[in-house]
Every structure is written in structure tokens, then in C-alpha cells.
Amino acid sequence: MTARQLRREAAERLRAAGVASPERDADELLAHVLGLGLGRLALVDGVTEEQGAAYDALLDRRAAREPLQHLLGTAVFRHVELAVGPGVFVPRPETELLAGWAVDRAREAGRHHRTCRVVDLCTGSGAIARAVKDEVPSADVHAVELDPGAHRWAERNLAGTGVELRLGDMATAFADLAGTVDVLTCNPPYVPLEAWESVAPEARDHDPHLALFSGDDGLDALRVLAERAAVLLRPGGWVGVEHADVQGQSAPRLFAATGRYEQVRDHRDLAGRPRYLTARLAR
């Protein structure tokens, strides 16, 4: 069987299993087995028996809806590559928009000739904190994660970057930074408990539930966050928070109802769905 035939059959196998991007995943896994970049797959004529067996085993796991990133061991997030695996939430492409917003705010501070202090709550793999530090090296970046397993992944991803990482609860984290933070980001758990069945198997069965579910309406973590951000931010500081696509009105309304924020605005992702909110602490 040629490599092209192998890729085609693999994609059909993944499609039948309900994988959302079967062609791409089939190619990613084959490239991983062969140790090649995706762009070089077209040059491959065939695979060895050993390579074929390794590929088949990975396809079995992906068809069982194990996350692609767990099989590869990495996830690309903006301009960085993160180590991921069991025990940590796999960063999604949608979250890159929130990270990009934080990068823009940090750069704005730099244009005013001062260091921007950024705090990332519920950091998980460290994705947002790592991206901000990578793109704005002058930023003073801090991150916190509650789950010890996820914290170990964040330690690995943030080692040597200059990001300060702590193990702790976002509800009480960074008391020593109160009133000094310019930009606060968070991708908190926001899935309602009643939405269990609607969550993709890759997330429901493999991501930590602590990173997914947040009470009956999915807003419990956001309520805590709205209070904590008001403590940590300096007057005029910004907060950016990811939320579920069905929370495009309820999440901003929650922040506005505190009376502590201005310029509360919701933002859509590239598919046009409500994805994250931003707000500014009143001066």
C-alpha cells in the first residue's frame, strides 16, 4: 500500500469514528510516526512494517477519541509549542484570541515606557502565560494553577521563560500583587454540569473535570473571577476571560452587575461565536 492510500484509508477510519478533522489528524499522526514535517508527507512513497504497526496503534487510540495532542505529546499555541498529556487541559485554538488580546494590552503598556504586569489565573498548561511572555519578553508575567497534575505540566512549559508560576486557588492567589496588575487573563472552567453529554469525548473523557465544569449554569468560576480580578487589578487595569459560546450575554452581564467594571465587551471567535469578554476596572 502506498503512503497516499494509507493516509486515505486512515482518514476514512477516523471519519467513521466521528473525529472532526480526519484528514488532518491522519496526516499529523503519520508525520509523527515518520518523524517528518507535514509538508514532506507528499514525498513519502511507502512505510515499513514497523512504521505501519505504530501508525495503526495510534489510529486505534485516535478513533477511540483520545485527543490528538496527547498522542503527539505537544500542542501548538500561537508561536509556541507546549507539552501536553493526561492530566492537563489541551489548549484550544479559540483561546489564542484571548492570548492575542493580552499581548496587545501588554504591548500598549510597553509603548508608554513601563513594564506591564500580567497575571494568568487557571493557567492549566501555561499556554496564555507562555504566549504573552514569548511575544512581549519585557512583560512581568505570573500564573497560578490549582490542580497539582496540571501544575506539573505548566512547570515544564514555563521553565526558563521567566514566568513566575504558583500552585494555588485563583480565589486567593497573588495577594502580594493586589492592586498592581495591568492585565489579568483567565480561561476558567465554564461548562454547566447539565451539559455533560454535549461535551466532545476528547474533552469529557480526557481533560480534567476541574478544568471543564463550573456549577449548574457554568458561571460559578466566573463569579469568583469577577471578585478576584477587582482585587488584583490596578484602577484602569484590564481583565479578559474566555467563556462558553452560550454565555455571550450572561458572562458580560455578570461582570457589569458588580458595578466595578467599565467597557465590558464581548468578543467572537473566528467562527462568529461568542468566545471571551474583556472589561476594565473602574478608575
CA separation, residue 177 to residues 125, 181, 258 (Å): 22, 7, 21
> What pLDDT was estimated at residue 196?
47
Per the CATH hierarchy, to which homologous superfamily does domain 88-281 belong? Vaccinia Virus protein VP39 (3.40.50.150)
Average pLDDT over residues 41-50: 86
> What pLDDT was estimated at residue 203?
57
> Is the pLDDT score of 215 beyond 60?
no
Q: Pick 128 or 247 by higher pLDDT.
A: 128
| CA atoms 278, 197, 168, 93: torsion sign | negative
> What pLDDT was estimated at residue 166?
98
Domain boundaries, the chain: 3-64, 88-281
Percent of the chain with pLDDT over 70: 90
- CATH number of this structure's domain 3-64: 1.10.8.10
> What pLDDT was estimated at residue 42?
82
| Contact between residue 31 and residue 41 where contact means Cβ atoms under 8 Å apart | yes
What does the mean pLDDT of the chain come to?
A: 89
Average pLDDT over residues 192-204: 56
> What pLDDT was estimated at residue 200?
59
Q: Tell me: the pLDDT tens digits for 53-67?
A: 999 999 999 999 988
